[in-house]
A and B are shown apart, each in its own frame.
Chain A
Amino acid sequence: DSGVTQTPKHLITATGQRVTLRCSPRSGDLSVYWYQQSLDQGLQFLIQYYNGEERAKGNILERFSAQQFPDLHSELNLSSLELGDSALYFCASSYSSTGGRDEKLFFGSGTQLSVL
C-alpha cells in the first residue's frame, strides 16, 4: 500500500458529462501529481500542485482542471467528457516540489474512467 488514496476506483459516465476524481496524498506529503494512462499514449503527466499552489502543467486539456485543498487532498475535474478521455487516472504524491526527480513518487491505485 503506497499510502495514496484515490476514489472512486471505477467511474462510468456518458459523453458530455462532468466527473470529479479525488486523491488523498500520503500523510506529510505536500505535492500531488495527476497522470493519465491510456493504451495508446502511455502515462502522461497532467498537472502538479504543491502545498495548494499549481506548480507544473503537462499535457492537460482545457476541459480538465484540478485543485489542491488546505487539507492537501486534490481533485481532478473532467468536463465535457469525450470517448477518448476513457483512461486510468493516477494520482501520486511526494514531500518536496521536485518529486520524481529528487524524491520518490508514490502512486495511488488509480481511477478507471469509462466514457460511453
Chain B
Amino acid sequence: QKEVEQDPGPLSVPEGAIVSLNCTYSNSAFQYFMWYRQYSRKGPELLMYTYSSGNKEDGRFTAQVDKSSKYISLFIRDSQPSDSATYLCAMSANDYKLSFGAGTTVTVRA
C-alpha cells in the first residue's frame, strides 16, 4: 500500500463547476499538507499549504485537512479552462521529506 493514495482520474468538468480532489494517507506522523499544480511539460508549482487539521481558503481554492480520517481535499470553485492541469497532493512529517500522491488530471471544458 502506498503511503499517499490519490485517484489519478482523469476528471472532466464543465467551466464554472466545482472541482473536488482528495487524497488519503497512512502515515499518522504527517503534519504538513500541500497541493501542487502541474501543467503539461512543466514542474509542479505550490498551490496551497496547510499545517495540521483545518481549512484554508485562497481565492477560488479551498484546502481541507482531516487528520482523524487521514484525508485531505482540495476544492476549486468556478473552475476555468486555465485550471486544466494535474493536481498532486503532498505531505511531510517533521523530517520534511515530501511524499506525493500520484496526481489527478483535471480538464475543465469551455
- Hey, which bits of chain A sit against chain B, CB under 8 A? 2, 4, 42-45, 48, 56, 58, 90, 92, 98-102, 104-105, 107-110
Contact = CB atoms under 8 A, between A and B. Distances in A.
A109 B41 CA distance: 7
B43 A108 contact: yes
B75 interface: no
Contact of A42 (B32, B43, B49, B101): B101
Interface residues of B, number: 22
Interface of B: 32, 34, 41-46, 49, 88, 90, 92, 94-103
Contacts of A108: 43
Mostly, the B contact residues are loop
Nearest to B41: A109
Given A104-B49, A107-B43, A110-B41, 19 more contacts: A2-B45, A4-B43, A42-B88, A42-B101, A42-B102, A42-B103, A43-B103, A44-B100, A56-B95, A56-B96, A58-B97, A99-B96, A100-B96, A100-B98, A101-B98, A102-B96, A105-B46, A105-B98, A107-B45
Contacts of A45: 97-99
Contacts of B92: 100-101
Nearest to A41: B102
A56 B97 CA distance: 8
Q: Which 8 A-B pairs have the closest CB atoms?
A: A107-B43, A101-B96, A43-B100, A42-B102, A100-B98, A98-B96, A101-B32, A104-B46
Contacts of B45: 2, 107
A2 B39 CA distance: 13
A110 B43 contact: yes
B56 to A, nearest CB: 15
